[in-house]
Structures are given as structure tokens and as C-alpha cells.
Amino acid sequence: MKAFAQLMEALVFTPQRNGKLRLLVDYFTAEPDPDRGWALAALTGGLSFPAAKAGLVRGLVEQRVDPLLFRWSYDYVGDLAETVSLIWPPRPGPDRPPELSEVVDALADASRSTAPGLVERWLDALGPPERFALLKLITGGFRVGVSARLAKTALAQAFDQDLGEIEEIWHGLTPPFTELFDWLTGGAGRPVIDDRAVFRPLMLANPLEDADLDRLDPAAYRAEWKWDGIRVQLAASGGERRIYSRTGDDLSSVFPDIAEAMGFDAVLDGELLVARPAEDGDAGVTVAPFNDLQQRLNRKTVSAKMLRDFPAWVRLYDLLFDRSDDLRPLSFDRRRQHLEAWFDRVRPARMDLSALVPFDRTEDLHGLRDGARAAAIEGLMLKRGDSPYLAGRPKGPWFKWKRDPLILDTVLLYAQRGHGKRSSFYSDFTFGAWTGDRAGEGELVPVGKAYFGFTDEELARLDTWIRANTKDRFGPVRAVTPALVLEVAFDSVHRSTRHKSGVAMRFPRIHRIRWDKPAEEADRLATLEAMIVLG
């Protein structure tokens, strides 16, 4: 546990990517199996212990520390594992600090009734940095600035192996990755991933900059609409049906309606949406706003009513595997031909093809993008016709070009201290708009919340302003004098019953801080309502 805790501690305080990489390389080279495999699992989010969750940690600490003192400490520190690691008053006892693999094995075997006793004894036996590492294993989210990608890069460096080779087999492996380390250290061959429906790393697009557009050769690129849903990979093979999110999370159980329609043997790339039959009796469907899809996400189970009210749909745009044929080395144009032929042949329910949008000149794209106001369209995708399907985010072959955001002048109403890096700054902002017929009339109702879009300097200034203009405090939240205008940018706005204002913004962020503008001149709720586009 000590080496693992030291690694975590060092990663937190090492800002440079190369510094982190060095730490990881040293760790993976020096530590034995299975500890290094468990550490890798922890860093890549692959560990979860059903018997031990954040609630267990809270329960334990509240038996030892006054709940009120704990709550205030948590508000201040902003991270459960760190708070408990610092506040824990150890009772002296004969306990020996456990090894990482001991912790993982014991937690995996524990039940809800035995886990608390285990964790409590370990907390007593460990010092604060090791307590932190232990608690992070339980609560998840190490926040040490290491992505799964960086961890894999470190593996590739440590054992002089090709990163792509590791990526390709990654999703067929399970912690503690013994097969992987056996291969990397030269003791065994590369693990063989059979044709189970594993996740294949996605090809991602870069945002289109103005300079990219100037250089873009219109004849070499194809355009598609950028759909406002979530990116999914459908992988079906030998009876296995998996729906993966962009990051490889398995969503199959949340979308049984899609899984049911996957009676094929292929791996497809597409956009998950909520869509209903088109009103005009056409064969097509009308895509619902993102807000509808939101109802289906983040749920463990789905009711029949959910399935009926928010029917899922996948708009397909790429074919990676047709049976066992790996189409990824082929060009986009060739894959598109395969995709269209495959679709004609298979005709799966609840799916259609994302159409190619024809254009001749680069200037045409501006018009297309600006004209795209349908709720389900976020902008345009541009893909090079001759590009193979490459894992990661290569610069050049794929671009995403979002339409301009909507803008509203709002008034800052509440601020909350951030978590993580911003734990001492008021960095989460709730803002409102006027209910009256004219700006400055009626009352201000909250219309949204944003926590990014500003620089560190602006954040420091906002923090100072909030402290100086606090009207009231509710725990970590401050109500402020409604006097500061925030220009908020957002992608779209929808009706919502969850908010007092009756509307919800999609992807709101602070666009500009209008230190100069009086609150009375901020926008009205009615202005925002007028921006609602129905599906």
C-alpha cells in the first residue's frame, strides 16, 4: 500500500505530463504482480467493490467524528477520501498495514456486513497518505491527472511496446492484468482477444479552427450532421450484444430496446438518440432534443414507461467490423459503401444511416452549419474520404464544427465552492433571468448553472467579488447581491420540469463577465423561452 500511496501522492503534485509519465514508468517497472496490475486498474477506473462504496466511508467516519464537524470539514476540503484520510482519529491497535493486493482481494470477497470492519481496521493501521489511497480505491476517481491513455502510454514506454498494440487488446483484459504484464515483460505471447464483443478504441474528431477551414480541400472531405446525442459503439458477435459509450463503458443494460435490435454480427459506430416516428406519416423519425435522451441516461434500470416515452434510436455512421472482417484499414469512402450495403442487407430496427450532406465549396459549409437549427443537430462533421479508421484523435482526418452558441445576459445569483482543484474558490455559478415584461422587472429566477468558461485570473476576481457581495450563506453556497451580469453561452434550451424557471440549458458556460453592465439590463426569461426549438 505504501508504494501505491506514494505514487498517488507524487502524481498529485507533479504537474508536468512527462514527470507523471516517469513516475508511472518507474512504478510499473519496479512493483511486483499483482500489485502493479491493481494500481493500473485503479488508475484506469477498472476497480469497483459493490460491498464498499462512499456510503460505507461516511458511515465509518461519522461513528468516530462528530457529524457536524465532519460535514464542515468535507465542505472545506471538497473531497470525501481526502477529508476522511485527514480527519480519521486512529485507535492504536495491533493492526499491520495491508498490501494493495490484500486490500483488493479482501474487498472483492467482502459482503456489505463485513466490509466496514475491514476498512475500519485498515484506516487505524495506515497513515494519512495510505488512508487516502485506500479510500480512493473505494470511492473511485483518483483525480491525479492521469488518463487511461497516459497510463497505457507509460506501460508502452516502460516495456518498450507499441501503444496501439496495447489499446487493441485493452478491452479484452481484466484486472490485475497478469496476462498483459506477462506479455510486456517478455514471459508470454500477446494475449489473444477472441471475437468476443470487445470495445474497439474510437476515432475522435478535432474541433475545426478557422485556419483548418481555409486549408480544407472540399473535394477530399465528406460532410455529415453532427447529431446531439451520445456517441456509441454497437458490438454484436456470437449472441453477445454490447453498447459501449465513447469511453468504453457498457450501456447495454440501460438500452435494452437497442440491444434487442442488434441481431447481427458487426461492430458499428453511431449516435444514440431518442427518436419518434415522424408526424407526417413518413417512414422516417423525428429526433428528440438531448433533454429527452437525458431521461434515459444515468439510470440503473429502465421502466416500460421509459422505453415507451423515450424510445432509443441509433443513427449509424461507420462500420468497423462486418462479421470478422476488420474494415478499419479501409478508407472512409470504402467503409461508407460497406456500411450502406450492410444496412440494405440487414435492415436493423431502431436504426438508420446518418446521411452524407452534399457540398461543393468550403463556403457552402458555412451556410449549412448556420442553417442547421433543428434541435438534434449540433453542427457539422467533416471526414476525409481517404482516411482509415484510426484510434484516438489524430489531427486532420476528422473535424467537428459546432454551430455558434446561443447567448444570454444573466445575473449571478448563487455561487458554490468548487471541488478538486478549485476547492477554495467560488467557482460554480447559478444565474438568473428576469420574469417581467421588461428587463429589470419582475423577479430573477435561476435559469442555469455553469462552472467553466473563465480564466484563472477571472476566477480569482469572481471569487473576490462573491466574498465581498455575499447576502446569505447556506453551507458551501453563497447568495450574492444580484448585481453582476454574466454573459452565458449554451448550445440549446429545452422545457424542463426540474427547474423553477421551466427551462434547462444544454452545455451552459460563462462566455464573458460583464463587470460593466447593470443587472437591470440583463435578459428576460421570455427571451430564453423564445430560443426553445422543438424536436
Q: Whose Cβ is closer to other proteins: residue 85's or residue 354's?
A: 85
Q: Whose Cβ is closer to other proteins: residue 367's or residue 420's?
A: 420
CB of 365 within 8 A of CB of 359? yes
> What's the closest the beta carbon of residue 481 comes to other proteins, in angstroms?
18
Distance CA 257, CA 277 (A): 15
> What's the closest the beta carbon of residue 92 comes to other proteins, in angstroms?
16
Q: Whose Cβ is closer to other proteins: residue 82's or residue 409's?
A: 82
Examine residue 507 and tell whether it contacts other proteins (CB under 8 A). Answer: no
> What's the closest the beta carbon of residue 86 comes to other proteins, in angstroms?
4
Examine residue 141 and tell whether it contacts other proteins (CB under 8 A). Answer: no
- Given candidates 50, 63, 66, 534, which one binds other proteins under the rule CB under 8 A? 66
Site for other proteins, residues 397 to 426, rule: CB under 8 A: 420-425
The interaxial angle of helices 2-13 and 17-30, nearest 10 deg, is 170
Distance CA 124, CA 112 (A): 20
Site for other proteins, residues 428 to 467, rule: CB under 8 A: 467
Q: Whose Cβ is closer to other proteins: residue 61's or residue 447's?
A: 61
Which is nearest to 334 in space by CA: 323, 345, 342, 324?
Answer: 342
The DSSP string of 337-354 is: HHHHHHHHHH--TTEEEP
Q: Whose Cβ is closer to other proteins: residue 332's or residue 465's?
A: 465
Which is nearest to 531 in space by CA: 413, 377, 402, 405?
Answer: 405
Q: Whose Cβ is closer to other proteins: residue 18's or residue 298's?
A: 18
> What's the closest the beta carbon of residue 73 comes to other proteins, in angstroms?
5
Which is nearest to 39 in space by CA: 63, 15, 4?
Answer: 4
Q: Whose Cβ is closer to other proteins: residue 77's or residue 376's?
A: 77
CB of 522 within 8 A of CB of 410? yes
Site for other proteins, residues 273 to 332, rule: CB under 8 A: none
Distance CA 242, CA 430 (A): 38
> What's the closest the beta carbon of residue 77 comes to other proteins, in angstroms?
6
Question: Strand, coil or helix: what is 139?
Answer: helix
Examine residue 30 and tell whether it contacts other proteins (CB under 8 A). Answer: no
Examine residue 14 and tell whether it contacts other proteins (CB under 8 A). Answer: yes
Examine residue 15 and tell whether it contacts other proteins (CB under 8 A). Answer: yes
> What's the closest the beta carbon of residue 353 comes to other proteins, in angstroms?
46
* HEC profile of 443-497: CEEEEEEECCCCCHHHHHHHHHHHHHCEEEEECCEEEECCCCEEEEEECEEEECC
Stretch that binds other proteins, among 11-19, 158-166, 201-209, 235-243 (CB under 8 A): 11-19
Q: What would you measure as the largest C-alpha separation in the chain, in angstroms?
A: 77
Stretch that binds other proteins, among 9-17, 196-204, 206-214, 498-506 (CB under 8 A): 9-17
Q: Whose Cβ is closer to other proteins: residue 9's or residue 102's?
A: 9
Whether the bond into 405 is cis, omega within 30 of 0:
no
Binding residues for other proteins, total number by CB under 8 A: 28
Q: Whose Cβ is closer to other proteins: residue 77's or residue 223's?
A: 77
Q: Whose Cβ is closer to other proteins: residue 77's or residue 202's?
A: 77
- The grid coordinates of residue 140 equal 473511485
> What's the closest the beta carbon of residue 67 comes to other proteins, in angstroms?
10
> What's the closest the beta carbon of residue 428 comes to other proteins, in angstroms?
15
> What's the closest the beta carbon of residue 42 comes to other proteins, in angstroms?
17
> What's the closest the beta carbon of residue 132 comes to other proteins, in angstroms?
8
> What's the closest the beta carbon of residue 463 comes to other proteins, in angstroms?
11
Integer CA distances (angstroms), 526 to 222, 289, 434, 447, 491, in order: 39, 20, 8, 11, 17
Site for other proteins, residues 67 to 126, rule: CB under 8 A: 68-70, 72-73, 76-79, 82-83, 86-87, 89
The interaxial angle of helices 148-158 and 35-43, nearest 10 deg, is 150
Integer CA distances (angstroms), 399 to 142, 203, 222, 353, 385, in order: 31, 11, 10, 19, 12
Which residues, 6+ apart, have CB-to-CB distance to 249 below 8 Å? none
Q: Whose Cβ is closer to other proteins: residue 87's or residue 216's?
A: 87
Distance CA 453, CA 450 (A): 8
Site for other proteins, residues 467 to 486, rule: CB under 8 A: 467
Examine residue 65 and tell whether it contacts other proteins (CB under 8 A). Answer: yes
Which residues, 6+ apart, have CB-to-CB distance to 501 below 8 Å? 432, 433, 445, 446, 447, 525, 528
Strands (E), 19-120: none
Q: Whose Cβ is closer to other proteins: residue 87's or residue 526's?
A: 87
> What's the closest the beta carbon of residue 397 comes to other proteins, in angstroms?
36
Distance CA 170, CA 469 (A): 51
Can you give the binding site for other proteins, defined by CB under 8 A?
A: 12-15, 65-66, 68-70, 72-73, 76-79, 82-83, 86-87, 89, 132, 420-425, 467
